[in-house]
Amino acid sequence: MNQWYQIALPKDCSMDKFYAIDGFLGSYEQPNAVILYFEKRDDVLQALSDFDVSVISDGDWEEKWREYFVPVKIGSLTVVPPWKKNEGNIIINPARGFGTGHHETTQLSLDFIEKALKLDSSVSTMLDVGTGSGILSIAAARIAPHLKITAIDNDPDAIENAAENLELNGVSDKIELTVEPIFKQTEKRDIVVANIISSVLYFLSDDLKRLSAKWLVLSGVLATEMPYFADRMELGDFELIDKAVKNEWSAYLFRRK
Protein backbone atom coordinates (compact mmCIF):
# COMPACT_ATOMS: atom_id res chain seq x y z
CA MET A 1 0.00 0.00 0.00
CA ASN A 2 1.37 3.43 -0.93
CA GLN A 3 1.89 5.81 1.96
CA TRP A 4 2.89 9.46 2.41
CA TYR A 5 3.86 11.83 5.21
CA GLN A 6 1.65 14.79 6.09
CA ILE A 7 2.37 17.78 8.33
CA ALA A 8 0.26 20.83 9.18
CA LEU A 9 1.83 24.27 9.71
CA PRO A 10 0.58 27.75 10.60
CA LYS A 11 -0.18 29.75 7.45
CA ASP A 12 2.33 32.47 8.37
CA CYS A 13 5.16 29.94 8.64
CA SER A 14 7.90 30.27 5.99
CA MET A 15 7.66 27.31 3.59
CA ASP A 16 10.92 27.68 1.68
CA LYS A 17 12.84 24.98 3.55
CA PHE A 18 10.02 22.46 3.07
CA TYR A 19 9.74 23.03 -0.68
CA ALA A 20 13.48 22.33 -0.90
CA ILE A 21 13.22 18.90 0.78
CA ASP A 22 13.84 16.05 -1.64
CA GLY A 23 10.57 14.16 -1.42
CA PHE A 24 8.21 17.15 -1.18
CA LEU A 25 5.01 16.26 -3.08
CA GLY A 26 2.64 19.18 -2.71
CA SER A 27 0.67 21.38 -0.37
CA TYR A 28 -2.85 22.55 0.37
CA GLU A 29 -3.88 25.77 2.13
CA GLN A 30 -6.63 26.09 4.71
CA PRO A 31 -7.72 29.49 6.05
CA ASN A 32 -5.31 29.23 9.00
CA ALA A 33 -2.91 26.44 8.11
CA VAL A 34 -0.95 24.79 5.32
CA ILE A 35 -0.95 21.00 4.83
CA LEU A 36 2.22 19.61 3.24
CA TYR A 37 2.80 16.14 1.77
CA PHE A 38 6.06 14.22 1.41
CA GLU A 39 7.31 10.85 0.25
CA LYS A 40 7.48 8.32 3.06
CA ARG A 41 11.22 7.78 3.41
CA ASP A 42 13.63 7.68 6.34
CA ASP A 43 15.60 10.72 5.15
CA VAL A 44 12.39 12.73 4.77
CA LEU A 45 11.27 11.71 8.27
CA GLN A 46 14.63 12.88 9.61
CA ALA A 47 14.20 16.24 7.85
CA LEU A 48 10.77 16.56 9.50
CA SER A 49 11.89 15.38 12.93
CA ASP A 50 10.85 18.64 14.62
CA PHE A 51 7.25 18.35 13.43
CA ASP A 52 4.17 16.25 14.12
CA VAL A 53 4.17 13.85 11.16
CA SER A 54 1.11 11.84 10.14
CA VAL A 55 1.13 8.89 7.75
CA ILE A 56 -1.62 8.69 5.14
CA SER A 57 -2.30 5.75 2.85
CA ASP A 58 -4.11 4.99 -0.39
CA GLY A 59 -7.10 3.82 1.60
CA ASP A 60 -7.55 6.95 3.71
CA TRP A 61 -6.35 9.60 1.25
CA GLU A 62 -9.84 10.74 0.31
CA GLU A 63 -10.98 10.72 3.94
CA LYS A 64 -8.02 12.92 4.92
CA TRP A 65 -8.81 15.33 2.09
CA ARG A 66 -12.48 15.49 3.10
CA GLU A 67 -11.28 17.28 6.25
CA TYR A 68 -9.72 20.08 4.21
CA PHE A 69 -11.11 20.23 0.67
CA VAL A 70 -13.82 22.88 0.36
CA PRO A 71 -15.06 24.59 -2.83
CA VAL A 72 -12.69 27.26 -4.13
CA LYS A 73 -13.33 29.93 -6.75
CA ILE A 74 -10.57 30.54 -9.31
CA GLY A 75 -11.32 33.09 -11.98
CA SER A 76 -14.79 32.43 -13.35
CA LEU A 77 -14.78 28.81 -12.17
CA THR A 78 -15.52 27.06 -8.89
CA VAL A 79 -13.62 23.87 -8.07
CA VAL A 80 -15.32 21.27 -5.90
CA PRO A 81 -14.70 17.67 -4.79
CA PRO A 82 -17.08 14.95 -6.03
CA TRP A 83 -19.02 14.96 -2.76
CA LYS A 84 -19.92 18.64 -3.43
CA LYS A 85 -20.39 18.35 -7.19
CA ASN A 86 -23.57 20.44 -7.22
CA GLU A 87 -21.73 23.44 -5.78
CA GLY A 88 -19.30 24.14 -8.64
CA ASN A 89 -18.43 23.66 -12.31
CA ILE A 90 -15.10 21.81 -12.07
CA ILE A 91 -14.95 18.53 -10.15
CA ILE A 92 -11.58 17.37 -8.84
CA ASN A 93 -11.25 14.14 -6.91
CA PRO A 94 -8.27 14.74 -4.58
CA ALA A 95 -5.80 11.92 -4.94
CA ARG A 96 -2.15 11.43 -5.79
CA GLY A 97 -2.26 13.94 -8.66
CA PHE A 98 -1.83 17.21 -6.81
CA GLY A 99 -3.85 20.23 -7.82
CA THR A 100 -7.18 21.13 -6.24
CA GLY A 101 -7.30 24.82 -7.10
CA HIS A 102 -6.48 25.96 -3.57
CA HIS A 103 -2.80 26.61 -4.15
CA GLU A 104 -1.67 30.05 -5.28
CA THR A 105 0.36 28.67 -8.18
CA THR A 106 -2.71 27.00 -9.67
CA GLN A 107 -4.76 30.17 -9.31
CA LEU A 108 -2.05 32.33 -10.88
CA SER A 109 -1.61 29.87 -13.74
CA LEU A 110 -5.29 29.88 -14.59
CA ASP A 111 -5.43 33.68 -14.44
CA PHE A 112 -2.72 33.86 -17.11
CA ILE A 113 -4.25 31.11 -19.26
CA GLU A 114 -7.47 33.13 -19.29
CA LYS A 115 -5.58 36.32 -20.09
CA ALA A 116 -3.74 34.74 -23.03
CA LEU A 117 -7.00 33.38 -24.43
CA LYS A 118 -8.61 36.82 -24.19
CA LEU A 119 -5.65 38.55 -25.84
CA ASP A 120 -5.28 36.04 -28.67
CA SER A 121 -8.38 34.56 -30.28
CA SER A 122 -6.25 32.47 -32.66
CA VAL A 123 -5.04 30.15 -29.87
CA SER A 124 -6.18 26.59 -30.60
CA THR A 125 -3.69 24.26 -28.87
CA MET A 126 -2.25 23.93 -25.36
CA LEU A 127 0.40 21.81 -23.67
CA ASP A 128 0.06 21.34 -19.89
CA VAL A 129 3.40 20.17 -18.46
CA GLY A 130 3.18 18.47 -15.06
CA THR A 131 -0.59 18.27 -15.16
CA GLY A 132 -1.06 16.56 -11.78
CA SER A 133 -4.79 16.29 -11.21
CA GLY A 134 -5.44 17.78 -14.66
CA ILE A 135 -7.07 20.87 -13.17
CA LEU A 136 -5.49 23.46 -15.49
CA SER A 137 -6.33 21.45 -18.61
CA ILE A 138 -9.89 20.91 -17.43
CA ALA A 139 -10.29 24.61 -16.64
CA ALA A 140 -8.87 25.60 -20.03
CA ALA A 141 -11.30 23.22 -21.75
CA ARG A 142 -14.13 24.84 -19.80
CA ILE A 143 -13.07 28.36 -20.79
CA ALA A 144 -12.27 27.55 -24.43
CA PRO A 145 -14.03 24.35 -25.57
CA HIS A 146 -12.34 24.55 -28.98
CA LEU A 147 -8.87 24.01 -27.50
CA LYS A 148 -6.93 20.87 -28.37
CA ILE A 149 -5.02 20.07 -25.17
CA THR A 150 -2.21 17.66 -24.36
CA ALA A 151 -1.43 17.10 -20.66
CA ILE A 152 1.86 15.50 -19.56
CA ASP A 153 2.92 14.02 -16.24
CA ASN A 154 5.75 11.61 -15.49
CA ASP A 155 3.82 10.06 -12.60
CA PRO A 156 1.45 7.26 -13.73
CA ASP A 157 -0.60 7.73 -10.54
CA ALA A 158 -1.16 11.38 -11.43
CA ILE A 159 -2.21 10.44 -14.96
CA GLU A 160 -4.65 7.91 -13.53
CA ASN A 161 -6.14 10.57 -11.25
CA ALA A 162 -6.25 13.11 -14.11
CA ALA A 163 -8.09 10.61 -16.31
CA GLU A 164 -10.70 10.17 -13.57
CA ASN A 165 -11.10 13.95 -13.28
CA LEU A 166 -11.45 14.35 -17.05
CA GLU A 167 -14.24 11.78 -16.96
CA LEU A 168 -15.93 13.50 -14.01
CA ASN A 169 -15.94 16.76 -15.99
CA GLY A 170 -16.96 15.30 -19.34
CA VAL A 171 -13.84 16.51 -21.16
CA SER A 172 -12.04 13.23 -21.89
CA ASP A 173 -12.48 13.81 -25.61
CA LYS A 174 -10.84 17.25 -25.45
CA ILE A 175 -7.65 16.41 -23.54
CA GLU A 176 -4.96 13.87 -24.39
CA LEU A 177 -3.09 12.51 -21.36
CA THR A 178 0.41 11.13 -21.72
CA VAL A 179 3.45 10.07 -19.70
CA GLU A 180 5.68 10.68 -22.72
CA PRO A 181 8.37 13.08 -21.48
CA ILE A 182 8.53 16.62 -22.76
CA PHE A 183 11.81 16.11 -24.59
CA LYS A 184 10.04 13.61 -26.87
CA GLN A 185 7.31 16.10 -27.75
CA THR A 186 7.78 17.58 -31.23
CA GLU A 187 4.56 19.49 -31.98
CA LYS A 188 4.53 23.17 -31.03
CA ARG A 189 1.46 24.42 -29.15
CA ASP A 190 0.03 27.91 -29.04
CA ILE A 191 0.17 27.93 -25.23
CA VAL A 192 2.62 25.98 -23.09
CA VAL A 193 1.78 25.93 -19.37
CA ALA A 194 4.10 24.65 -16.65
CA ASN A 195 3.09 24.92 -13.00
CA ILE A 196 6.06 23.17 -11.43
CA ILE A 197 8.66 24.14 -8.83
CA SER A 198 11.36 26.40 -10.25
CA SER A 199 14.18 23.85 -10.14
CA VAL A 200 12.21 21.73 -12.61
CA LEU A 201 11.32 24.78 -14.74
CA TYR A 202 15.02 25.55 -15.09
CA PHE A 203 15.75 21.95 -16.03
CA LEU A 204 12.96 21.90 -18.65
CA SER A 205 13.61 25.42 -19.91
CA ASP A 206 14.87 24.54 -23.40
CA ASP A 207 11.95 22.21 -24.14
CA LEU A 208 9.35 24.61 -22.74
CA LYS A 209 10.65 27.36 -25.03
CA ARG A 210 11.04 25.05 -28.00
CA LEU A 211 7.43 23.87 -27.83
CA SER A 212 5.81 27.28 -27.29
CA ALA A 213 4.59 28.77 -30.58
CA LYS A 214 3.01 31.85 -29.02
CA TRP A 215 2.46 31.91 -25.26
CA LEU A 216 4.28 30.59 -22.20
CA VAL A 217 2.73 30.45 -18.71
CA LEU A 218 5.19 29.64 -15.93
CA SER A 219 4.26 29.22 -12.27
CA GLY A 220 5.60 27.54 -9.16
CA VAL A 221 8.32 30.14 -8.62
CA LEU A 222 8.95 31.54 -5.16
CA ALA A 223 8.55 35.32 -5.03
CA THR A 224 12.11 35.60 -3.71
CA GLU A 225 13.33 34.31 -7.10
CA MET A 226 11.65 37.07 -9.11
CA PRO A 227 14.78 39.26 -9.57
CA TYR A 228 16.63 36.55 -11.51
CA PHE A 229 14.02 34.03 -12.69
CA ALA A 230 13.53 35.30 -16.27
CA ASP A 231 17.26 35.72 -16.83
CA ARG A 232 18.01 32.24 -15.57
CA MET A 233 15.34 30.82 -17.91
CA GLU A 234 17.07 32.65 -20.82
CA LEU A 235 13.80 33.89 -22.32
CA GLY A 236 15.33 36.27 -24.86
CA ASP A 237 12.91 35.14 -27.58
CA PHE A 238 9.92 35.98 -25.38
CA GLU A 239 8.37 39.22 -24.17
CA LEU A 240 7.14 39.46 -20.58
CA ILE A 241 3.45 40.38 -20.78
CA ASP A 242 2.54 40.09 -17.11
CA LYS A 243 3.71 38.77 -13.77
CA ALA A 244 1.87 38.35 -10.49
CA VAL A 245 2.56 37.47 -6.88
CA LYS A 246 0.26 35.77 -4.40
CA ASN A 247 1.67 35.22 -0.92
CA GLU A 248 5.02 33.44 -1.39
CA TRP A 249 4.51 32.52 -5.04
CA SER A 250 4.95 34.22 -8.41
CA ALA A 251 3.85 33.42 -11.97
CA TYR A 252 4.64 34.79 -15.43
CA LEU A 253 2.99 35.25 -18.79
CA PHE A 254 5.33 35.46 -21.78
CA ARG A 255 4.61 35.89 -25.49
CA ARG A 256 6.99 34.86 -28.25
CA LYS A 257 8.43 37.92 -30.01
Quote the CA–CA distance of 208 and 197 in Å, as a whole number: 14
pLDDT score recorded for residue 213: 97
Question: What is the fold of 3-68?
Answer: Alpha-Beta Plaits (3.30.70)
- How far apart CA 225 and CA 223 sit, in angstroms, is 5
Tell me the percentage of the chain whose pLDDT exceeds 70: 90
Q: What is the mean pLDDT of residues 68-77?
A: 78
CA atoms within 13 A on the CB side of 223: 11
**Whether the predicted pLDDT of 144 surpasses 70:** yes
Reply yes or no on whether the pLDDT at 49 is more than 70.
yes
pTM: 0.76
* Cα pseudo-dihedral 81, 176, 142, 242, rounded to 10: 100
Question: pLDDT tens across 118-131, in order?
Answer: 999 999 999 999 99
CATH topology agreement for domains 3-68 and 104-256: no
> In this model, does residue 7 exceed pLDDT 80?
yes
Spell out a b/e string for 192-204, using b for 16 or more CB atoms within 10 Å of the CB, else e. bbbbbbbeebeeb
104-256 CATH, one of 3.40.50.150, 3.40.470.10, 3.40.50.2300, 2.60.40.1260: 3.40.50.150
99 vs 162: CA distance, rounded Å: 10
Name the pLDDT band for 24 (thresholds 50, 70, 90).
confident
Per-domain residue ranges of the chain:
3-68, 104-256
Q: What is the pLDDT of residue 32?
A: 63
